[in-house]
Structure 1
Amino acid sequence: MEKHEEQLAAIQEMRSMMDQATRFKSISGLSGIIAGILALFSVYLIYQLTGISPVEAEALERIWRSSSQVFVLLALLGLFVICIGIGMYFAMRNARQSGKPAWDHAAKRLLVSLAIPVIAGGIFSGLLIQQGLVAIAAPVTLLFYGMGLLNASKYTLDAVRTVGIVFICLGLLATYFLAYGLLIWALGFGLAHIVYGFIIYVNYERA
């Protein structure tokens, strides 16, 4: 009986070691919180510039048809680049603090798993906008980002899977309430990022 328990313990230990080796667990909750705040701030800046509130019906289409179209595009692209940079910085910092390599095999698999759906969703959204289907861009970005998180969750914290499902649900909701896509987009990339970032920070980062 004791031998059987020892074998079981050895197997569990091996599984735990394999899990540690195949998962990148240095992602930062702080970067999620900052990304969420920046997303909400970007929506606020667009509102201040155009006078169109995200809670208004068809806000996204009206903003895109306004004279501030170029600013809106640059603001969203800038938001994407800054958030990627912040996420990478904090992830590398966490990895160094825990004595782990910042760019190991697990990190590479995580990046590829997340990048493919996100890049595909970004290109798809751009094509939709080019065809004049601006309103659909909001739910599409939520859906593809959610699928990216769900796909990447195999190589990082389990909490990321839940967040991915939340974003997919928000994407479907934004599709159903298409006129309020910008509001739901702000709730997703803003509020959801802040909430899940806080949860990850409290459970995994806080000393």
Structure 2
Amino acid sequence: MDSKDYLKDISEIKDLMNKSSRFISLSGLSGILAGVYALVGAACAYWLVINYSQGKLLLDGWVFRTCLLILALVAVLSIASAIFLTTRKAKKNNEKIWDSSSRRLILNFLIPLVVGGIYILIILGQQKYGQTGALMLIFYGLALVNASKYSIGDIRYLGFIEIFLGLICAWLPGYGFWIWVLGFGIMHIIYGTMMYIKYDKI
């Protein structure tokens, strides 16, 4: 066995170790759907605010509660689609859906997300909601970057983009709604399409 064979074996071992420590069955299609849900939800919320709240979102009004319900529905649909499509992809590739790598992925994703969600609820309770969109983007981006160590490395770049957009949103709060739409809607569709072409469409 010459040096080329040794290098080949080492490369194969490295690939196997990398796959065993990462959950790589994430579906690009779920990213596309999450973006579509976000755009539809944003359109519904925008229509409500313009037509029933004179363009201003008041915390004590039914429009605000409806917008929160729409946001929750977008999150539930996105999570449900991700679970369904990722499970289907894992079964197709004969991979386990629930193992140590997927548990690490979920844990590292949820830590920044839950902390961010609690913080946002606290400031909403204090009627300080001007930076809500920025905080959602920043904490979501941090969650993606944190989880990327245990999944497809490409999601860290989406995380960096979300963080960057969150900072811009904090700097330009008057454009918060549109930057939120860009981050959670359009960027998800772009990212999901790229991942679908790269990993799913074989």
Identity of aligned residues (%): 33
Aligned counterpart in structure 1 of residue 65 of structure 2, from 52, 64, 70: 70
1:44 CA drift (Å)? 0.6
1:142 alignment partner, one of 125, 134, 137? 137
Q: How far off is 1:128 after superposition?
A: 1.2
Residue pair 1:27, 1:91 contacting (<8 A) in 2 also? yes
| 2:16 aligned partner, one-letter code | M
For the residue of structure 2 that corresponds to 1:71, the secondary structure is helix
Please tell me whether the aligned partners of residues 33 and 194 of structure 1 are also in contact (alpha carbons under 8 angstroms): yes
1:172-183 equivalences under 5 Å are 172-183=167-178
Are the aligned partners of 1:24 and 1:110 in contact in 2 as well (CA < 8 Å)? yes
* Alpha-carbon distance between aligned partners in 2 of 1:144 and 1:67, rounded to the nearest angstrom: 27
Post-superposition offset of 1:84: 1.0
Give TM-score, length-normalised by structure 2: 0.93
Contact 1:21 1:106 in 2 (8 A): yes
What residue is the counterpart of 2:88 in the other structure? 93
Q: For 2:136, give the aligned amino acid.
A: T
Kindly indicate whether the alpha-carbon contact (under 8 Å) linking 1:128 and 1:136 is maintained by their aligned counterparts in 2. Answer: no
Task: Report the AA paired with residue 78 of structure 1.
Answer: L
The answer to whether residue 24 in structure 2 is matched with residue 29 in structure 1 is no
Alpha-carbon separation, structure 2, partners of 1:126 and 1:27: 29
Report how many aligned residue pairs link the two structures.
198
| TM-score normalised per structure 1 | 0.91
The one-letter amino acid of 2:89's match is N
Residue 43 of structure 1: aligned partner: 42
CA distance in structure 2 between the partners assigned to 1:5 and 1:96 by the alignment? 35
Distance of 1:124 and 1:131 partners within structure 2? 11
Partners of 1:49 and 1:165 in 2: CA distance: 31
Distance (whole Å) between structure 2 residues aligned to residue 6 and residue 67 of structure 1: 68
Partner deviation per Cα, 1:18-55 (whole Å, 9 max, x = no partner): 00101111111111111101101111111222217xxx
Ranges of 4+ aligned residues in structure 1 off by more than 6 Å: none
1:198 maps to which residue?
Answer: 193
Unaligned runs of 5+ in 2: none
AA aligned to 2:15 is S
Equivalent positions of 1:114-193 (< 5 A) are 114-193=109-188
Alignment partner, residue 8 of structure 2 = 9
The CA deviation at 1:73 is 1.1
1:44-85 CA-partner distances (Å, limit 9, x unpaired): 111222217xxxxxx6xx224454111011111121122111
How far apart, in 2, do the equivalents of 1:166 and 1:150 lie?
Answer: 10
